[in-house]
Amino acid sequence: MVKLDILSDPICPWCYIGKANLDKAIQAHPDHPFTIEWHPFQLNPEMPEGGMDRRTYLETKFGGKENAVKVYGQIEDAAKAAGLEIDFAAMKRTPNTIDAHRLIHWSGLEGRQTAVVASLFRAYFAEGKDIGDRGVLLDIAEAAGMDRAITERLFDSEADIDDIRARDAHAREKGVTGVPTFVVANQHALPGAQPPDLWVRVIEDIAKQVAEAPKDAPAT
């Protein structure tokens, strides 16, 4: 198997689109070689704990309503091309995602990470839920098969907050400036929401390399 590390933030629309494109390639090649692990990268590490009004956030980030509308029009087009519907009107707040990243980390320890990541994307972009709200996060954890009471106790503690922030900082030190960023076999970094056909070529190239690799000599 080949490790595929994905640096992502569950409020990043390009991460949502990038995952959908990767999923298409994987579905077309169910014998794909990837072992996937998701890693934290906060788009807004200085976001207030309770998040902020989404309109205010967008207009501040993009320098006014006109630019925000233009940028998100491009995102909406890319989402539709990926087969996704994003309900921008339902998204009222931009959350701080530290708790969402903690949940992704804990779900990884239980082998439920990709399911939780998918649920976080769906909750935020398709259902307009505030994924900074612990009640929403606990519902996602429970639906994925995690123990709700244990997860709630973890949230009530400071568990893994420093670790998440340290991993985020480490990614930036390594040169990651945006997400999604995909790292194949700890060697090749692919930034951005890559199209499905690129992932198909990657999968086929890896399969070819494996097939052409010299086999171990038989034991004597």
Half-sphere exposure of 153 (CA within 13 A, CB side): 4
Structural domain boundaries in the chain: 2-212
Residue 138 has pLDDT above 60, yes or no: yes
Q: How far is CA 220 from the centre of its chain?
A: 48
**What are the C-alpha distances in Å from 86 to residues 35, 81, 125, 144?**
28, 12, 5, 22
Residue-level pLDDT at 214: 82
Task: Choose between 82 and 214: higher pLDDT.
Answer: 82
Q: pLDDT tens digits for 26-40? A: 999 999 999 999 999
What single-letter amino acid sits at 112?
R
Residues 116, 151: contact at Cβ < 8 Å? no
> Which superfamily, per CATH, for 2-212?
Glutaredoxin (3.40.30.10)
List all residues 6 or more positions away from 13 whose beta carbon is below 8 Å from its beta carbon: 72, 75, 79, 86, 125
Residue-level pLDDT at 219: 44
Residue 170 has pLDDT above 60, yes or no: yes
Q: pLDDT tens digits for 92-121? A: 999 999 999 999 999 999 999 999 999 999
Residue 220 has pLDDT above 60, yes or no: no
What band does 217 get if pLDDT is binned at 50, 70 and 90?
very low
Mean pLDDT of 187-214: 93
Residue-level pLDDT at 216: 63
Please name every residue paired with 133 in a beta bridge, in sequence order, or none if there are none. none
List all residues 6 or more positions away from 50 whose beta carbon is below 8 Å from its beta carbon: 96, 132
Residue 168 has pLDDT above 70, yes or no: yes
Residue 46 has pLDDT above 60, yes or no: yes
